[in-house]
Structure 1
């Protein structure tokens, strides 16, 4: 008996020791939110107050000291995210994850972002304030890298620490710019449809010329299944550990339409969800500068921000700034390609991609004057049909660092407007409001006009010299509205007005969100911050009810079962709401999958149908295609000697949807509530390992919202009907210039990327419930509710 007690005590003692070790080890790895740290490079003591959500409020004697401190605190919360972000563009993820990321690395290494970053840095003015502050920020990151604890992800994956450089900053901005582009997803698929099915099949997409102001010419040829490009690029972005930028909402209301007589500003950029979340918040105060900003990991200046004088944010312009060209090789020399002037030599570059626990991979990259060949960078392309990628971002002087610096240091609305000219790509809708009552919507991007007979929605002819001609607009021609007479501006990735009677090509999203925003803004002239808080969480569709009525008129109502009749009536009375307990959105979205599958899959095949589901073009055409009785897509190519009618497709799709929902949720239609099928989980790259999922991932949660409503919580249609949200508002911000110190915001999970920090997920429930927290700017209030971390200069 005594022996058993000794054994039990020994085991207990071992567990206590292990527990103490884990606790002490975990404590060591946590971010440091109070106490004192000594830093090189700062000239005077700098104080950081971390509020109750872990947001740093940095009070410094100079901007340079503030930026060094920002780099340090940013790194202690987000170093792992920074590491991933800086590795994507140069193709260095395989060093962490092995061959699993080799496809991503080959593609991005071949694009040329890394080389463009080097070129941009060589042209920088090293005496400029933007450069000096960037170097101070990097110095702060690197001091944490050297002296701070190593994040647990580094230890699990086995990452060797490397100092951050200014090229990392440019590469991060370069990846962001690429993730905005849509041509590589859509153009190859549209080319296949044109070549295999004919232009009539493109009328429902609006790219046959029927919705354009120009005559379009197709470069017809034998089908080469170019949609392999769409498939591969979509897969690479979906499997990237850092999610792409997708859409966004923003609206700014002038003094004439607010209760307070001051500007109100709202913005919620739509980005793929991940853990940690995209944005890092920080509030900087110096004698000559103040900014409450939202930062990408590893970047020194905020893309979203506000202070007491002005606020700015962004959405995607969705303009077309990328073209794909079919090159023609010299039959006598595969290293040459045809141009209008004759054959030219490809530029040939070799790169080494290091792969963890495997041999290095030698990547051979060919470039025409248009850009890099996709052949060899992605799977499925034949070597004798080279496809090159032309991208605005790589074709013009890269001034992105100066641009983002200028946005966060503007003096007035005119100064802000002019700074946007520095952004050649990506195309953005940049929103602005200020304390003086000014409001603005301004588009960025080097815009151009193509010849009338060239349709940029298809792969172009790289040999004739005509398809590459571009007439560039002056920046003054970029669409904008400053203090319009209707007293508000907005953007929801919708089509912009024609420029000089030219409807600028792009991959715009449907009218749904824009229409709802305008409906709401027009209805009131006494807007308040509280009204905006409700509006930014709005779950009502302004378009879906009319689509539903079009569907219902096309369904054959004879021989409907009782369950089908009940479901039919749920749709009939639906007002477009997508709340947790609504039933109609469950039926509607399940129906949409079967409608899309029955309409498009027989012509496209399974793989290309899946590609179509991920494009903006599909979202654009659903409403018009459902209503179009003469659409060629109604014909089912798999049925012999029979033309399928719109009624047959809609009726079949409705019956299949109800059968699937009965199987999944039972036969009681009132129990088919939206919360049972619409869920969200914020996934960490290491959460893909089952044993680590609960430790690193946040969720899953039931959540309201849906595709293409203001509360745009996005998912891809699936037969199973598990609408797992993959993207949505990366933050919701509302700036009230009548009460600037009580403006509000929220993040999807939390401020910290360190799973040991209590701020890793402390905003998740609030976000799901549509709640907000203050973006504090009052120093006394901040000091009263914060922990204090003091940074002192190291003694020399």
Structure 2
């Protein structure tokens, strides 16, 4: 027995030693790729010395003797901290993910190959101005200098992920940066999904008023009536069920409701307490670890520029210079149209055009797949755009037999000068100059908010499609591609893009709300991203005669839900103070406690309060109760509460209260009954998931921000090291927006929101502040992987200063790049 015990002890000790050794080896290999910020490095491709001073938040301040050398330094800094992220973005847009991830990403690769974004980026390089081409070349050389250093000095392949997903790391090219901008355009575009959903919904709901209920137009003057989708394609099966396989790993097309969003507002000197202009900006994207944003400062010939960059792109995308500040919000411009193309029954290689049958433009593309045989995809294009498979985005449900779907989209341009516009913005010295250089923006379309020392402005930038006034669906539904009136007629002049310069009220801003209401075809969009936050913003802006940096910060961090304040009195009108006494432990008593809590609540979506969770669960259950019997399985597509729909129902707008009656039951249910049933549903769900003690509930427990690593975040053990989870305030309709997932089992996880916050004060520019949601490093062993995350969660910021002495005072390292 003693012999056996001794051997078991020896084996256990050996296992422990081997485990420790394995951990040490893994740590050693992983830590080899941690960058050394204190060094002097001799590199090729520079014309003069470059100094990269990293302040105590690891924000690089890049000082150089020429603009080209400054961009070289930015490329080197990006590659030091985010090389894996840059590589993943490039592989995504190239359609080459399956080479390292295998079959899990085949559908993603197929889609990106069909869209042809990378070849279009290659062609777009020659469309850039000389200054931008020089910046792209220098930036690429800086990235490649870091790659060469990694290979020469065996620096752990540059990032731990490269050990797990081995693939050759090819040199960076100028086209790679342009391609990443096009990829961002894809991530920010949601009009295609909206068209498909509107078509599917109209097939189920024969009454146009009911379609207008569940897919409401933003308040404002009229939208022309649309034809029934079934009338456009009589052969389409009316109740086709989706077979969507478009949610493949790393799919860059966001689910409906999770495309781009954002806030930005500016105040003129007349509305500023200090007499200087003010600007606040917080763009919203899906959360990842690390964040898509990377803070940086460049010293250019035109002066210092500081703000948020995207790794892989040599530009400050949002931020300020010494003379100009700029912020971006998603414009919701309708820049995508789906077409249904008729195939020639005698020759499926042809499709119908206004002039007869025409051959598809085709090309073979080979996708290499790790651990599997490669596959060949036939890419097909029509005059309207690339052919998309019916297996993605539920296109099969709206495509009749003998037809295929194609996509027209402004980003499908081989002369995309968006990069030149971004580079030009950094050199602009005034609002007037910024408006001029912004004409080069093609995609993604954004609302650009601008300030200089004296002036504020808001301008929609990006190409606006010119549509025929007789377009059958006004661009809101997939339309017959062979009808000439449905086809795009080119691009509208830049001068027609909405513009607001130096308004009399001294305030401009955008929360993705409707900003203009021009009749079709000069309209901007029928579908907008916000009808709620803008109401709260208007109140905060007009509640003060003058504003300060701190009042702008207060507005950025505001968590009061106008939606809750509006809807709760409507849906609970007959529930608040009615009902008989009920003993503890009964559903009736639990309902009364919930109603009492909500009656005393001010609508603040604070992470420490129980009321936001009760409210959110009630609204979610209510919408499902209202739509499930009418829409059936399609109800799953409406996974976020639509406030305008609930309001229409409970105000009985155009007879919308009919949604309250359950079609499959004999009695006629009232909206009060449905509200009560939904509240009971919500309380049961809360009890099962969080407990029955309502007073002890915390919204933040359900509303956790999910900054997950895009690849390692789902791997056992590793996910505990790479994912960043934080209890957060806010919600779907608050200015501090924290968009919920809408998906079981955790429908209120915060998955889409503010990745960057910046507030710029031109009365004292160095008092400006900014922050990102995670940290500067993409290396999970670095202390800078998540060090900004807690500041972000608490609503704190770091200085946004161009003062080099301040950066050097507490620098975490200074890198000197010296030319050969």
> What is the TM-score of this pair, normalised by structure 2?
0.90
Question: Taking structure 1 as reference, are residues 190 and 16 closer, same or farther at Cα in structure 2, changes over 3 Å only?
Answer: closer
Question: Taking structure 1 as reference, are residues 365 and 554 closer, same or farther at Cα in structure 2, changes over 3 Å only?
Answer: farther
What is aligned with 2:443? 425
User: Which of residues 250, 261, 265 in structure 2 aligns to 1:247?
Assistant: 261
CA distance in 2, matches of 1:409, 1:54: 25
Question: Taking structure 1 as reference, are residues 225 and 298 closer, same or farther at Cα in structure 2, changes over 3 Å only?
Answer: farther
CA distance in 1, matches of 2:191, 2:673: 34
Match status 1:318 vs 2:332: yes
CA distance in 1, matches of 2:374, 2:321: 48
Contact 1:254 1:487 in 2 (8 A): yes
What is aligned with 1:546? 566
User: What is the CA distance between 1:776 and its match in structure 2?
Assistant: 2.8
CA distance in 2, matches of 1:9, 1:548: 62
Contact 2:337 2:478 in 1 (8 A): yes
Match status 1:531 vs 2:556: no
Contact 2:740 2:747 in 1 (8 A): no
Greater shift after overlay, 587-596 or 556-565? 556-565
User: Which of residues 189, 196, 210 in structure 2 aligns to 1:201?
Assistant: 210
Contact 1:96 1:356 in 2 (8 A): yes
Greater shift after overlay, 768-777 or 618-627? 618-627
Contact 1:552 1:572 in 2 (8 A): no
CA distance in 2, matches of 1:632, 1:457: 25
CA distance in 2, matches of 1:179, 1:720: 25
CA distance in 2, matches of 1:580, 1:16: 40
What is aligned with 1:41? 45
Match status 1:504 vs 2:524: yes
User: Which of residues 702, 710, 713 in structure 2 aligns to 1:687?
Assistant: 713
Match status 1:338 vs 2:365: no
Match status 1:443 vs 2:443: no
User: Which of residues 596, 605, 610 in structure 1 aligns to 2:632?
Assistant: 605
**Correspondence list, 1:721-740, <5 A:** 722-740=747-765
Question: Taking structure 1 as reference, are residues 249 and 231 closer, same or farther at Cα in structure 2, changes over 3 Å only?
Answer: farther
> What is the TM-score of this pair, normalised by structure 1?
0.92
Per-residue CA deviations over 1:593-637 (Å, capped at 9, x if unaligned) read 11121122223233x22322269xx45534334432622761666
Contact 2:332 2:527 in 1 (8 A): yes
Question: Taking structure 1 as reference, are residues 386 and 59 closer, same or farther at Cα in structure 2, changes over 3 Å only?
Answer: same
Per-residue CA deviations over 1:92-115 (Å, capped at 9, x if unaligned) read 111121111111111121112123
Contact 1:273 1:682 in 2 (8 A): yes
Match status 1:87 vs 2:91: yes
- Name the SS for the 1:726 alignment partner: strand
User: Which of residues 153, 157, 164 in structure 1 aligns to 2:161?
Assistant: 153
CA distance in 2, matches of 1:191, 1:6: 68
CA distance in 1, matches of 2:23, 2:95: 40
Match status 1:406 vs 2:424: yes
CA distance in 1, matches of 2:13, 2:248: 53
- Name the SS for the 1:690 alignment partner: coil
**Correspondence list, 1:165-564, <5 A:** 165-198=173-206, 199-204=208-213, 205-206=215-216, 212-219=222-229, 220=231, 221-224=234-237, 231-233=244-246, 235-236=247-248, 239-240=251-252, 245-375=259-389, 378=392, 381=396, 384-394=402-412, 397-434=415-452, 436-447=453-464, 448-452=466-470, 453-470=472-489, 472-499=491-518, 503-553=523-573, 555=575, 557-558=578-579, 561-564=588-591
User: What is the CA distance between 1:43 and its match in structure 2?
Assistant: 2.0
User: Which of residues 95, 100, 104 in structure 2 aligns to 1:96?
Assistant: 100
Structure 2: where are the runs of 5+ without partners?
Answer: 581-586
Greater shift after overlay, 197-206 or 715-724? 715-724
Per-residue CA deviations over 1:743-769 (Å, capped at 9, x if unaligned) read 111111101111122100111111111
Greater shift after overlay, 171-180 or 547-556? 547-556
Greater shift after overlay, 501-510 or 236-245? 236-245
User: What is the CA distance between 1:792 and its match in structure 2?
Assistant: 3.8
CA distance in 1, matches of 2:716, 2:448: 40
CA distance in 1, matches of 2:102, 2:15: 39
CA distance in 1, matches of 2:791, 2:798: 9
Question: Taking structure 1 as reference, are residues 241 and 35 closer, same or farther at Cα in structure 2, changes over 3 Å only?
Answer: farther
What is aligned with 1:586? 613
User: What is the CA distance between 1:24 and its match in structure 2?
Assistant: 4.9
- Name the SS for the 2:559 alignment partner: coil
User: What is the CA distance between 1:17 and its match in structure 2?
Assistant: 7.0
Q: CA RMSD in A?
A: 3.0
Structure 1: where are the runs of 5+ without partners?
Answer: none
Question: Taking structure 1 as reference, are residues 535 and 210 closer, same or farther at Cα in structure 2, changes over 3 Å only?
Answer: closer
User: What is the CA distance between 1:492 and its match in structure 2?
Assistant: 0.4
Contact 1:209 1:216 in 2 (8 A): no
Greater shift after overlay, 551-560 or 771-780? 551-560
How many residues align? The count is 786
What is aligned with 1:772? 797
Contact 1:189 1:226 in 2 (8 A): no
User: What is the CA distance between 1:672 and its match in structure 2?
Assistant: 2.2
CA distance in 2, matches of 1:137, 1:486: 42
CA distance in 2, matches of 1:471, 1:628: 42
Contact 2:204 2:238 in 1 (8 A): no
Contact 1:31 1:754 in 2 (8 A): no
Question: Taking structure 1 as reference, are residues 109 and 528 closer, same or farther at Cα in structure 2, changes over 3 Å only?
Answer: same
Per-residue CA deviations over 1:158-200 (Å, capped at 9, x if unaligned) read 1211111122112111111112211221111211221232223
